[in-house]
Amino acid sequence: MFKHEEILVFDFETTGLSATNDQILEIGAAKYKKVNGNFQLVDELSLILNTDNPISEKITEITGITPQMQEKHGVSQNEGFNRLDSLINKDTLLIAYNIQFDLGFLLNFYYNNYDKNFKLENDILDIMAIYKDRHKFPHRLESGVLKYQINFPNTHRALDDVKATYALLLAMKEEKNNIEKYVNVIGFNKKYGVSGPKLDKVRYVAQYGGFGEIDKL
């Protein structure tokens, strides 16, 4: 599926939509390494993080994470960063659903806990770009789970979303094995443009849904 020897599928639940003003509330990640040509799960991460501001009722409604859960299980932002960073090598392919959202928080994670001048050199893969190339609106993760009949609960918890994302990737690979074409490509809605950070190595392509704009490149 990839030239890469290891991949990390990750997801963040956050206290809001602004990578600058909000914080990561939960980290879910699964690391896979290539063994005899096939990827095998070698590590998982599921952490609730402490945040500067209390969790709002709206965020609890969306994520299911309560202030009581955070008080009991929460770790510091720095510990969460170190645990996640330990899973990422310079050659690790980073994978997420709607990765453009997560990249803003990931970069600020590095700025705040490692180096304010940090530059992300890893290759990236946005699973939403693949799904959007093949199917019309809606393009949420649960849309893909339903479309491909993936048996995962829709909890919005980070590790569950990671597992659903990886299962969706495998299902779309079986449908059409052109996944490598989407590495370092992010689709965007032409009406709104690209929000958040732009990476030098990434190609940004306007996608309308179901028309294979990236596949035709």
Domains, the chain, in order of start with CATH, read 6-206 (3.30.420.10)
Comparing CA positions, the residue from 109, 55, 104 lying closest to residue 77 is: 109
The overall average pLDDT reported for the chain is: 96
Residue 183 pLDDT exceeds 90: yes
What mean pLDDT comes out for the span 169-187?
Answer: 97
Residue 189 pLDDT exceeds 80: yes
- Secondary element (H or E) of residue 61: helix 57-63
Residue type (1 letter), 115: D
Bridge pairing between strands 93-96 and 124-126: parallel
Distance CA 94, CA 8 (A): 5
* pLDDT value of position 152: 78
* pLDDT value of position 156: 78
* pLDDT value of position 126: 98
What mean pLDDT comes out for the span 86-90?
Answer: 97
Distance CA 124, CA 179 (A): 12
Higher per-residue pLDDT: 154 or 98: 98
What mean pLDDT comes out for the span 75-79?
Answer: 98
* pLDDT value of position 1: 82
Distance CA 148, CA 42 (A): 25
What mean pLDDT comes out for the span 89-111?
Answer: 98
How buried is 61 (Cβ within 10 angstroms: 0-12 exposed, 13-18 middle, 19+ buried)? exposed
For the stretch 124-158, pLDDT in tens is 999 999 999 999 999 999 999 999 999 877 677 99
Contact 32, 6 (CB under 8 A): yes
What mean pLDDT comes out for the span 29-50?
Answer: 97
* pLDDT value of position 155: 72
- Secondary element (H or E) of residue 105: helix 99-113
What mean pLDDT comes out for the span 78-86?
Answer: 98
Distance CA 194, CA 187 (A): 9
